[in-house]
Every structure is written in structure tokens, then in C-alpha cells.
Amino acid sequence: MDEVLIGEVLRPQGYGGELKIYPLTTDPDRFQNLQKVTLRRGENDQHFKVVSARKQMEFVYLIVEGIESLEQAEKYRGWEVRIDRSEVPPLKEGWYYFELEGMQVYEGDTLLGTLSQVLETGANDVYLVKGTKGEICVPALKTVVQRVDVPGRRMDVVLPPGLHDVR
């Protein structure tokens, strides 16, 4: 199953099995529309139907079927909260980081490598591209990133002077 990370279970909340979640999404309100979630730790996945979700300050409080006590909820401390990729609403413009990761990055006909990570630097994002000759940091600027084909899993870039020597 193709899933997207949207949060992390911090701890139980109260005695009834509610989970306190730290959202790892730009839209924490999405939790309120979820029908199901996957909780994951390592290779262990458990799927749950969402009963309710509420947002309070920067946290989300989640109640799912099958976790009904403080003791049961405690077992999920530190677990990832994931949803199926099909439940991620499309953006009006741009793309999600998870859509970019794994993409093949080209300059002209030359494959530079695979985009392995998006780094948030403040001024602009940086795409970490791993190739056969090492890693390269590509600034996520309109002058550098010429084309992003999400369905085709391809990004075309024009590297700024100085980055050509890295290849």
C-alpha cells in the first residue's frame, strides 16, 4: 500500500484510549475528515477506523476503533500515523514533497540521480539528489527547476554555475 506520513503519536490522552498526535502536515485539519489511518512502527502496521478527531492548539487528538483504554493507547507511543496516498487532496498548484521524492532528476539528457530528500532551508527548499558520483544539492528555484512531471516521475533542471563541477 502506498502511504503518506501525516503525524506521530506522542502519548495517550486521558483514560479512554484517545491518542495525542503531533501533526506532520501543513493541513492538520485533514485529520477531521479521515475515515481510516495506519499506525506504523518499523515493519509493524496496524489499520484503524477513525471514530473522531479534534484539533487543539498545534496537536490533534484522535480516537480510533480498537484502542479503548490508556493501557492500549500507551502501546502506540512513538508510532507513525499514515494515510493512503489516495486520501491526500490534490493541490491547486505545486506538489507535495512525497510526490517529488524518488523522482529521476535530469539536466538535458544527463541523469543526475534520484531526488532522495527535500530539505527546508528557510529561504528556499533544496532537493538532495543522489547519483552514481555522489550527492548534489539542487536549489528549488524557478530558474533551476525547469519542469516537474509528477506522473512521469521526472524533474528537469538547469544547474547554476559551480554545481556542474560536482558531477
35 or 2, which is more confident: 35
- The pLDDT score that the predictor gives to residue 111 is 93
pLDDT of residue 164: 57
Question: In this structure, which topology does domain 3-87 adopt according to CATH?
Answer: Elongation Factor Tu (Ef-tu); domain 3 (2.40.30)
Using CA atoms, how far apart are residues 76 and 11, in angstroms rounded to an integer? 8
Locate the domains of the chain by residue range: 3-87, 97-166
Q: What pLDDT does residue 93 have?
A: 75
User: Which tens digit of pLDDT belongs to each residue from 87-132?
Assistant: 777 777 777 788 888 999 999 999 999 999 888 887 888 999 998 8
Mean pLDDT value across the chain: 88
Within 8 A by CB and 6+ apart from 154, the residues are 103, 104, 105, 106, 147, 148
Give the pLDDT mean for 38-42.
93
Cβ pair 157, 146 in contact under 8 A: yes
C-alpha–C-alpha distance, residues 150 and 18, integer Å: 37
More confident site: 166 or 44? 44
Residue 10 to residues 13, 57, 97, 152, 164: CA-CA distances in angstroms?
A: 9, 15, 23, 37, 44
* pLDDT band at residue 167 under the 50/70/90 scheme: very low
Q: Which CATH class is domain 97-166?
A: mainly beta
Q: What is the Cα 106 distance to its own chain's centre?
A: 23
Residue 50: predicted pLDDT: 95
**Global pTM?**
0.65
Give the pLDDT confidence of 132-164 residue by residue, as tens digits: 878 999 999 999 999 999 889 999 999 988 775
User: How confident is the model at residue 161, as a pLDDT?
Assistant: 82
* Statement: residue 46 has pLDDT above 80: yes
Q: Give CA–CA dist 55/102, Å, rounded.
A: 32
